[in-house]
Amino acid sequence: MNRFILAVTAGLLATGAAQAQVTEDDLANDQSITTQVVTNGMGRHLQRYSPLDTLNKDNVQNLVPAWAFSMGGEKQRGQETQPIVYDGVMYVTGSYSRLYAIDLASGEELWQYDARLPEGILPCCDVINRGAAIYGDKIIFGTLDARLVALDRKTGDVVWRDKIADYKAGYSYTAAPLIVNGLVITGNSGGEFGIVGEVQARDVETGDMVWTRPVIEGHMGTLNGEESTMTGELNATWPGDLWKTGGGATWLGGSYDAETDTLIFGTGNPAPWNSHLRGAGSPSEGNTGDNLYAASRLGIDPATGEIKWHFQTTPREGWDYDGVNEVVAYEDADGNKRFATADRNGFFYVLNREDGAFVDAHPFVKDITWASDIDETGRPVFVEENRPGDPSAAADGGKGEVVFSAPGFLGGKNWMPMAYSQNTGLFYVPSNEWGMDIWNEPVTYKKGAAYLGSGFTIKPMYEDHIGSLKAIDPATGEWKWEFKNEAPLWGGVMTTAGGLVFTGTPEGKFLALDDETGEVLWSFQTGSGIVGQPVTWDQDGEQYVSVVSGWGGAVPLWGGEVAKKVNYLNQGGTVWTFKLPKQLASSN
Catalytic residue set: 320
- Give the chain's length: 588
Phi, psi of 183 (to 5 degrees): -110, 135
The span from the CA of 495 to the CA of 27, in Å, is 19
Task: Flag whether 80 is marked binding.
Answer: yes
C-alpha distances (whole Å) from 531 to each of 217, 344, 527 are: 34, 17, 13
Q: End-to-end CA distance of the chain, in Å?
A: 53
H, E, C per residue of 284-295: CCCCCCCCCCCC
Residue 14, CB-side half-sphere exposure with 13 Å CA sphere = 8
| Four-residue CA torsion sign, 19, 24, 201, 116 | negative
Beta bridge partners of 460: 434
Distance of CA 11 to the CA centre of its chain: 40
178 in Cβ contact with 193 (< 8 Å): no
Task: Flag whether 269 is marked binding.
Answer: yes
Degrees to nearest 5, angle at CA 165 with 161 and 170? 130
Report the b/e string of 347-385 with b at 16+ CB within 10 A. bbbbbbbeebebbbbbbbbeebbbbeebeeebbbebeee
The span from the CA of 118 to the CA of 226, in Å, is 31
The span from the CA of 302 to the CA of 180, in Å, is 7
Task: Flag whether 192 is marked binding.
Answer: yes
User: Do you find a cis peptide bond into 293, omega within 30 degrees of 0?
Assistant: yes
If one counts every other C-beta atom within 10 angstroms of the C-beta of residue 422, the result is 15
Looking at this protein, which amino acid is placed at residue 196? V
Task: Flag whether 423 is marked binding.
Answer: no
Task: Flag whether 245 is marked binding.
Answer: no
The helix or strand, by DSSP H or E, that contains position 554, with its residue range, turns out to be helix 554-558
Task: Flag whether 130 is marked binding.
Answer: yes
In eight-state DSSP terms, residue 232 is S
The span from the CA of 111 to the CA of 38, in Å, is 19
The helix or strand, by DSSP H or E, that contains position 227, with its residue range, turns out to be strand 226-230
Binding residue numbers for pyrroloquinoline quinone = 80, 130, 174, 414-415
- Binding site: residue ranges? 80, 130, 174, 192, 269, 320, 414-415
The binding site for Ca(2+) comprises 192, 269, 320
